[in-house]
Structure 1
Amino acid sequence: MAETAKWYVVHTFSGYENKVATNLQTMVENRKLHDLIQEIRVPTETVVELTDNKKREVERKLFPGYVLVKMVMTDDSWYVVRNTRGCTGFVGPESKPVPLTEEEVLALGVEKKNFVVNYAVGDNVRIVDGPLEGFIGIVEELDTEKNSVRVRISMFGRETPVELELDQAEPVE
Protein backbone atom coordinates (compact mmCIF):
# COMPACT_ATOMS: atom_id res chain seq x y z
CA MET A 1 0.00 0.00 0.00
CA ALA A 2 1.57 3.28 -1.11
CA GLU A 3 -0.13 5.54 1.41
CA THR A 4 1.07 5.57 5.01
CA ALA A 5 -1.18 5.64 8.05
CA LYS A 6 -1.67 8.99 9.77
CA TRP A 7 -3.32 10.05 13.01
CA TYR A 8 -6.80 11.58 12.78
CA VAL A 9 -9.02 13.03 15.51
CA VAL A 10 -12.58 11.69 15.71
CA HIS A 11 -15.29 13.63 17.55
CA THR A 12 -17.62 11.57 19.77
CA PHE A 13 -20.49 12.12 22.14
CA SER A 14 -19.09 13.21 25.50
CA GLY A 15 -18.56 10.23 27.78
CA TYR A 16 -18.71 7.74 24.89
CA GLU A 17 -14.98 7.80 24.05
CA ASN A 18 -14.20 4.29 25.34
CA LYS A 19 -17.40 2.87 23.83
CA VAL A 20 -16.57 4.37 20.42
CA ALA A 21 -13.02 2.98 20.64
CA THR A 22 -14.23 -0.55 21.46
CA ASN A 23 -17.00 -0.43 18.81
CA LEU A 24 -14.50 0.74 16.21
CA GLN A 25 -12.00 -1.95 17.22
CA THR A 26 -14.73 -4.60 16.89
CA MET A 27 -15.68 -3.33 13.41
CA VAL A 28 -12.02 -3.39 12.33
CA GLU A 29 -11.68 -7.00 13.48
CA ASN A 30 -14.99 -8.12 11.93
CA ARG A 31 -14.27 -6.50 8.55
CA LYS A 32 -10.54 -7.39 8.65
CA LEU A 33 -9.43 -3.77 8.13
CA HIS A 34 -6.24 -4.02 10.25
CA ASP A 35 -4.15 -2.71 7.33
CA LEU A 36 -6.36 0.42 7.00
CA ILE A 37 -7.19 1.21 10.64
CA GLN A 38 -4.09 0.38 12.65
CA GLU A 39 -4.52 1.97 16.08
CA ILE A 40 -7.29 3.51 18.18
CA ARG A 41 -6.51 5.51 21.32
CA VAL A 42 -8.36 7.44 24.01
CA PRO A 43 -5.61 9.64 25.55
CA THR A 44 -5.70 9.49 29.35
CA GLU A 45 -3.55 10.59 32.28
CA THR A 46 -3.30 9.26 35.81
CA VAL A 47 -4.08 11.89 38.45
CA VAL A 48 -3.91 11.62 42.24
CA GLU A 49 -7.07 12.96 43.87
CA LEU A 50 -7.50 13.79 47.55
CA THR A 51 -10.99 12.99 48.80
CA ASP A 52 -11.91 12.51 52.48
CA ASN A 53 -8.18 12.68 53.37
CA LYS A 54 -7.51 9.64 51.16
CA LYS A 55 -5.31 9.59 48.07
CA ARG A 56 -6.76 7.86 45.03
CA GLU A 57 -5.27 7.42 41.59
CA VAL A 58 -7.85 8.26 38.96
CA GLU A 59 -7.51 7.92 35.21
CA ARG A 60 -8.78 11.07 33.51
CA LYS A 61 -9.36 11.66 29.80
CA LEU A 62 -7.04 14.28 28.34
CA PHE A 63 -9.47 15.25 25.55
CA PRO A 64 -13.06 14.48 26.52
CA GLY A 65 -15.20 13.90 23.44
CA TYR A 66 -12.31 12.85 21.17
CA VAL A 67 -10.67 9.61 20.04
CA LEU A 68 -7.40 9.37 18.10
CA VAL A 69 -7.28 6.93 15.18
CA LYS A 70 -4.20 5.95 13.17
CA MET A 71 -5.45 4.98 9.74
CA VAL A 72 -4.94 5.09 6.00
CA MET A 73 -7.67 7.36 4.66
CA THR A 74 -9.75 5.54 2.05
CA ASP A 75 -13.48 5.50 1.32
CA ASP A 76 -13.82 2.22 3.26
CA SER A 77 -11.92 3.37 6.36
CA TRP A 78 -13.71 6.74 6.35
CA TYR A 79 -17.09 5.00 6.12
CA VAL A 80 -16.31 2.56 8.96
CA VAL A 81 -15.14 5.30 11.34
CA ARG A 82 -17.86 7.78 10.39
CA ASN A 83 -20.65 5.23 10.87
CA THR A 84 -19.50 3.91 14.22
CA ARG A 85 -22.21 4.35 16.87
CA GLY A 86 -21.38 7.39 19.06
CA CYS A 87 -19.07 9.00 16.49
CA THR A 88 -20.15 12.41 15.21
CA GLY A 89 -17.40 12.90 12.63
CA PHE A 90 -13.80 13.80 12.00
CA VAL A 91 -12.15 16.99 13.20
CA GLY A 92 -11.41 19.30 10.29
CA PRO A 93 -13.00 22.00 8.16
CA GLU A 94 -16.54 20.98 7.13
CA SER A 95 -15.88 17.56 8.79
CA LYS A 96 -13.25 16.75 6.17
CA PRO A 97 -10.56 14.68 7.94
CA VAL A 98 -7.25 16.49 8.42
CA PRO A 99 -4.33 14.38 9.71
CA LEU A 100 -2.29 15.53 12.69
CA THR A 101 1.19 16.85 11.93
CA GLU A 102 4.34 15.15 13.28
CA GLU A 103 4.74 17.98 15.83
CA GLU A 104 1.16 17.56 17.05
CA VAL A 105 1.57 13.79 17.40
CA LEU A 106 4.75 14.23 19.47
CA ALA A 107 3.22 17.03 21.57
CA LEU A 108 0.17 14.88 22.37
CA GLY A 109 2.44 12.00 23.38
CA VAL A 110 0.55 9.59 21.14
CA GLU A 111 3.71 8.14 19.64
CA LYS A 112 7.04 8.21 21.32
CA LYS A 113 10.37 8.51 19.56
CA ASN A 114 12.74 5.72 20.51
CA PHE A 115 16.36 6.76 20.91
CA VAL A 116 19.29 4.41 20.88
CA VAL A 117 21.42 5.51 23.81
CA ASN A 118 25.13 4.81 23.41
CA TYR A 119 26.11 5.95 26.91
CA ALA A 120 25.42 4.62 30.41
CA VAL A 121 25.40 5.80 34.04
CA GLY A 122 28.90 6.99 34.98
CA ASP A 123 29.94 7.87 31.39
CA ASN A 124 31.21 11.30 30.39
CA VAL A 125 28.87 13.07 27.95
CA ARG A 126 28.89 16.35 26.04
CA ILE A 127 25.69 18.41 25.93
CA VAL A 128 24.93 19.05 22.25
CA ASP A 129 21.69 21.06 22.46
CA GLY A 130 20.07 23.70 24.64
CA PRO A 131 21.44 26.53 26.78
CA LEU A 132 24.22 24.35 28.25
CA GLU A 133 25.53 23.26 24.86
CA GLY A 134 29.24 22.43 25.00
CA PHE A 135 29.35 21.50 28.70
CA ILE A 136 30.75 18.10 29.65
CA GLY A 137 29.33 16.11 32.55
CA ILE A 138 28.83 12.68 34.09
CA VAL A 139 25.60 10.70 33.63
CA GLU A 140 23.90 10.19 37.02
CA GLU A 141 20.57 8.74 35.96
CA LEU A 142 19.10 7.38 32.72
CA ASP A 143 15.35 6.99 32.13
CA THR A 144 14.50 5.75 28.64
CA GLU A 145 10.77 5.54 29.48
CA LYS A 146 10.56 9.28 30.16
CA ASN A 147 13.18 10.12 27.49
CA SER A 148 15.37 11.87 30.07
CA VAL A 149 18.90 11.78 31.43
CA ARG A 150 20.33 13.51 34.50
CA VAL A 151 23.87 14.80 34.00
CA ARG A 152 26.10 16.34 36.69
CA ILE A 153 28.11 19.25 35.30
CA SER A 154 30.59 21.61 36.89
CA MET A 155 29.38 25.22 36.66
CA PHE A 156 31.10 28.13 38.44
CA GLY A 157 33.07 25.67 40.57
CA ARG A 158 29.97 23.79 41.77
CA GLU A 159 28.54 20.42 40.81
CA THR A 160 25.06 20.93 39.34
CA PRO A 161 22.58 18.23 38.23
CA VAL A 162 20.83 18.97 34.92
CA GLU A 163 17.80 17.20 33.40
CA LEU A 164 18.06 16.70 29.64
CA GLU A 165 16.33 14.77 26.90
CA LEU A 166 18.21 11.71 25.67
CA ASP A 167 19.13 13.27 22.33
CA GLN A 168 20.65 16.38 23.99
CA ALA A 169 23.75 14.48 25.12
CA GLU A 170 26.35 12.37 23.35
CA PRO A 171 29.29 10.35 24.70
CA VAL A 172 32.73 11.97 24.85
CA GLU A 173 35.20 10.00 22.72
Structure 2
Amino acid sequence: MTAEDLGESELAAQPRWYLVQARPRQAERAALNLEQQGYRVFHPRFQIERIRRGRRVMVEESLFPNYLFIRLQRWVDNWYPLRSTRGVARLVAFGNEPLPIDDALIETIRRRIGDQSPELVLHPGETVRIIAGPFQGLEAIFQTHQGQQRVRLLIELLHRQVVLTLPLGGIQRVG
Protein backbone atom coordinates (compact mmCIF):
# COMPACT_ATOMS: atom_id res chain seq x y z
CA MET A 1 0.00 0.00 0.00
CA THR A 2 1.45 3.38 -0.98
CA ALA A 3 0.87 6.87 0.40
CA GLU A 4 -1.44 7.61 -2.56
CA ASP A 5 -3.67 4.66 -1.60
CA LEU A 6 -4.16 5.96 1.93
CA GLY A 7 -6.25 8.97 2.84
CA GLU A 8 -4.52 11.82 4.67
CA SER A 9 -6.09 10.89 8.02
CA GLU A 10 -5.09 7.23 7.61
CA LEU A 11 -1.56 8.26 6.67
CA ALA A 12 -1.28 10.43 9.78
CA ALA A 13 -2.27 7.44 11.94
CA GLN A 14 0.60 5.33 10.56
CA PRO A 15 3.88 5.41 12.52
CA ARG A 16 6.58 7.25 10.54
CA TRP A 17 10.26 7.97 10.96
CA TYR A 18 11.35 11.53 11.77
CA LEU A 19 14.79 13.11 12.07
CA VAL A 20 16.04 14.30 15.46
CA GLN A 21 19.00 16.65 15.83
CA ALA A 22 21.05 15.95 18.93
CA ARG A 23 23.14 18.43 20.84
CA PRO A 24 26.83 18.41 19.81
CA ARG A 25 28.51 15.10 20.74
CA GLN A 26 25.37 13.89 22.57
CA ALA A 27 23.67 11.67 19.98
CA GLU A 28 24.33 8.51 22.04
CA ARG A 29 22.91 10.16 25.15
CA ALA A 30 19.85 11.34 23.22
CA ALA A 31 19.23 7.86 21.75
CA LEU A 32 19.55 6.21 25.16
CA ASN A 33 17.22 8.71 26.87
CA LEU A 34 14.61 8.46 24.10
CA GLU A 35 14.68 4.65 24.27
CA GLN A 36 14.26 4.78 28.05
CA GLN A 37 11.12 6.88 27.50
CA GLY A 38 9.71 4.14 25.27
CA TYR A 39 10.39 5.66 21.85
CA ARG A 40 11.70 3.55 18.97
CA VAL A 41 15.05 5.02 17.89
CA PHE A 42 17.43 4.26 15.02
CA HIS A 43 20.96 5.65 15.41
CA PRO A 44 22.97 4.33 12.43
CA ARG A 45 26.57 3.53 13.36
CA PHE A 46 29.49 1.75 11.71
CA GLN A 47 32.85 0.28 12.72
CA ILE A 48 36.08 1.91 11.59
CA GLU A 49 39.70 1.50 12.52
CA ARG A 50 41.32 4.54 14.17
CA ILE A 51 44.67 5.31 15.74
CA ARG A 52 44.40 6.04 19.47
CA ARG A 53 47.51 6.67 21.56
CA GLY A 54 49.67 5.11 18.85
CA ARG A 55 47.54 1.93 18.60
CA ARG A 56 45.07 0.86 15.96
CA VAL A 57 41.65 0.24 17.52
CA MET A 58 38.18 -0.43 16.15
CA VAL A 59 35.72 2.29 17.12
CA GLU A 60 32.05 2.79 16.42
CA GLU A 61 31.09 6.08 14.77
CA SER A 62 27.80 7.68 13.87
CA LEU A 63 26.86 7.57 10.19
CA PHE A 64 25.15 10.96 10.59
CA PRO A 65 26.94 12.81 13.41
CA ASN A 66 24.46 14.54 15.76
CA TYR A 67 21.40 13.06 14.04
CA LEU A 68 19.20 10.05 14.73
CA PHE A 69 15.80 8.79 13.63
CA ILE A 70 12.72 8.31 15.80
CA ARG A 71 9.50 6.42 14.96
CA LEU A 72 6.35 8.33 15.93
CA GLN A 73 2.64 8.31 15.19
CA ARG A 74 1.48 11.78 14.24
CA TRP A 75 -1.67 12.11 16.39
CA VAL A 76 -1.11 9.30 18.89
CA ASP A 77 2.39 9.64 20.38
CA ASN A 78 3.27 12.35 22.86
CA TRP A 79 5.84 14.58 21.14
CA TYR A 80 6.29 17.07 23.99
CA PRO A 81 8.89 15.09 26.00
CA LEU A 82 11.21 15.22 22.97
CA ARG A 83 12.00 18.88 23.62
CA SER A 84 13.16 18.31 27.19
CA THR A 85 14.99 15.03 26.64
CA ARG A 86 18.67 15.27 27.57
CA GLY A 87 20.84 15.26 24.47
CA VAL A 88 18.04 16.27 22.07
CA ALA A 89 18.32 19.69 20.41
CA ARG A 90 15.18 19.57 18.26
CA LEU A 91 12.98 17.60 15.92
CA VAL A 92 14.00 18.60 12.39
CA ALA A 93 11.11 20.42 10.72
CA PHE A 94 10.38 22.71 7.82
CA GLY A 95 8.40 25.61 9.16
CA ASN A 96 6.49 24.12 12.08
CA GLU A 97 5.88 20.81 10.32
CA PRO A 98 8.19 17.84 11.00
CA LEU A 99 8.94 16.06 7.75
CA PRO A 100 8.52 12.26 7.81
CA ILE A 101 11.31 10.10 6.41
CA ASP A 102 10.37 7.36 3.94
CA ASP A 103 10.51 3.85 5.46
CA ALA A 104 12.35 2.60 2.35
CA LEU A 105 15.23 5.01 3.06
CA ILE A 106 15.55 3.76 6.64
CA GLU A 107 15.55 0.14 5.44
CA THR A 108 18.23 0.94 2.85
CA ILE A 109 20.43 2.48 5.55
CA ARG A 110 19.86 -0.55 7.82
CA ARG A 111 20.77 -2.94 5.00
CA ARG A 112 23.92 -1.02 4.05
CA ILE A 113 25.14 -0.87 7.63
CA GLY A 114 24.39 -4.58 8.11
CA ASP A 115 26.36 -5.43 4.97
CA GLN A 116 29.49 -3.60 6.05
CA SER A 117 32.52 -5.78 6.44
CA PRO A 118 34.92 -4.94 9.23
CA GLU A 119 37.84 -2.74 8.24
CA LEU A 120 40.98 -4.59 7.20
CA VAL A 121 43.24 -5.04 10.23
CA LEU A 122 46.78 -6.02 9.25
CA HIS A 123 49.97 -6.79 11.14
CA PRO A 124 53.53 -6.11 9.95
CA GLY A 125 54.94 -9.01 7.92
CA GLU A 126 51.57 -10.25 6.63
CA THR A 127 51.28 -11.11 2.95
CA VAL A 128 48.71 -9.10 1.00
CA ARG A 129 47.56 -9.02 -2.62
CA ILE A 130 47.26 -5.75 -4.51
CA ILE A 131 43.77 -5.66 -6.06
CA ALA A 132 43.77 -2.25 -7.75
CA GLY A 133 46.10 -0.03 -9.73
CA PRO A 134 49.13 -0.76 -11.91
CA PHE A 135 50.49 -3.40 -9.51
CA GLN A 136 47.20 -5.34 -9.44
CA GLY A 137 47.69 -9.06 -8.91
CA LEU A 138 51.11 -8.79 -7.25
CA GLU A 139 51.70 -9.97 -3.71
CA ALA A 140 53.42 -7.74 -1.18
CA ILE A 141 54.42 -7.69 2.47
CA PHE A 142 52.54 -5.30 4.72
CA GLN A 143 54.85 -2.98 6.65
CA THR A 144 52.73 -0.30 8.33
CA HIS A 145 49.72 1.98 8.09
CA GLN A 146 50.29 5.52 6.90
CA GLY A 147 47.42 7.59 8.15
CA GLN A 148 43.90 6.22 8.26
CA GLN A 149 43.41 5.14 4.64
CA ARG A 150 46.87 4.27 3.28
CA VAL A 151 49.36 1.43 3.80
CA ARG A 152 53.06 0.96 3.18
CA LEU A 153 54.02 -2.28 1.46
CA LEU A 154 57.21 -4.00 0.42
CA ILE A 155 57.15 -5.58 -3.06
CA GLU A 156 59.86 -7.22 -5.12
CA LEU A 157 60.49 -5.53 -8.47
CA LEU A 158 63.44 -6.31 -10.73
CA HIS A 159 65.08 -8.42 -8.01
CA ARG A 160 64.95 -5.53 -5.52
CA GLN A 161 62.64 -4.83 -2.63
CA VAL A 162 60.74 -1.60 -3.19
CA VAL A 163 58.59 0.32 -0.71
CA LEU A 164 55.16 1.20 -2.09
CA THR A 165 52.35 3.29 -0.55
CA LEU A 166 48.77 2.41 -1.60
CA PRO A 167 45.20 3.09 -0.47
CA LEU A 168 43.93 0.61 2.12
CA GLY A 169 41.06 -0.33 -0.20
CA GLY A 170 43.52 -1.41 -2.91
CA ILE A 171 44.76 -4.48 -1.03
CA GLN A 172 43.38 -7.66 0.48
CA ARG A 173 44.78 -10.21 2.91
CA VAL A 174 46.09 -13.42 1.29
CA GLY A 175 44.60 -16.61 2.68
Alignment TM-score, normalising by the size of structure 2: 0.50
State yes or no: 1:17 paired with 2:18: no
Look up the SS of the partner of 2:18 in the other structure.
strand
Residue 91 of structure 2 corresponds to residue 81 of structure 1:
no
Seq. identity, %: 22
Aligned CA-pair RMSD: 2.7
Aligned residue-pair number:
104
Q: Give ranges in structure 1 of 5+ residues lacking alignment.
A: 29-36, 114-144, 148-173
Counterpart position of 2:64: 63
Does structure 1 retain, via aligned residues, the 8 Å contact 2:35–2:41?
Answer: yes
CA pair 88-53 structure 1, distance change in 2 beyond 3 A: closer
Q: 1:85 to 1:75 in 2, by over 3 A?
A: farther
Q: Aligned-pair distance for 1:24?
A: 1.5
CA displacement, residues 36-60 of structure 1 (integer Å, 9 cap, x when unaligned): x3x2122111001245663310111
**Does 1:4 pair with 2:5?**
no
SS at match of 1:77: coil
| Contact 2:15/2:73 (8 A) holds in 1 | yes
SS at match of 2:64: coil
Q: TM-score, normalised by structure 1?
A: 0.50
> Displacement, 1:26?
2.0
Q: Which amino acid aligns with 1:5?
A: P
- Which structure is larger by alpha-carbon Rg, 1 or 2? 2
Alignment of 1:1-173 (within 5 A): 3-28=13-38, 37=39, 39-50=40-51, 54-74=55-75, 76-107=77-108, 109-110=109-110, 112=111, 146=115
Corresponding residue for residue 31 of structure 1 = none
Per-residue CA deviation, residues 122-142 of structure 1 (Å, 9 max, x unaligned), is xxxxxxxxxxxxxxxxxxxxx
Q: Distance in 2 between matches of 1:41 and 1:15?
A: 17
1:20 and 1:56, CA in 2 relative to 1: closer, same or farther beyond 3 A? Answer: same
Quick one: distance in 2 between partners of 1:83 and 1:4? 25
- Which residue of 2 is the match for residue 169 of structure 1? none
Unpaired stretches in structure 2, ≥5 consecutive residues: 1-9, 117-175
Q: Stretches of 4+ moved more than 3 A in 1? A: 50-54
Question: CA, structure 1 residues 146+99, in 2 after alignment: closer, same or farther (shift >3 Å)?
Answer: same
